[in-house]
Amino acid sequence: MRVLLGAVIAMGPGKADLLEAIEISGSISAAAKSLGMSYRRAWVLVDTINRCFREPVVTAAIGGSGGGGAEVTPYGREILQRYRAMEARAVAAVARDIEEFSAFLRSRPE
């Protein structure tokens, strides 16, 4: 599930995973590393998220030795929770359809 703001993805699976990793590690660079993502890429994703929502989702202290820490704000945690709840509800709504649809699929692409 992707939440679009015009052509920009405000929230999606990758951004949600990144926010969770920042919550756990308290750092954009550590979060990036844990997801096998470059720091630059993680920074761009965080910047995009922050530009899409009305209040800051991630706050970061830039610079310092090893870079400053970063944290997901309470506002950001609410967004993340709502996104995960939407995901779960959508999945639950189509659980039976997916089961039926699977019968049409091969076990792997031919």
- Between 1 and 24, whose beta carbon lies closer to its own copies? 1
**Contact present, 61 and 69 (Cβ < 8 Å):** yes
The pairing of beta strand 3-5 with beta strand 8-11: antiparallel
CA dihedral 91, 76, 39, 34 (to 10 degrees): -50
Residues 44-83 that bind its own copies (CB under 8 A): 48, 50-54, 75, 78-79, 82-83
Binding residues for its own copies, per CB under 8 A?
1, 3, 5-6, 8, 10, 48, 50-54, 75, 78-79, 82-83, 85-86, 89-90, 92-94, 97-98, 100-101, 104-106, 108-110
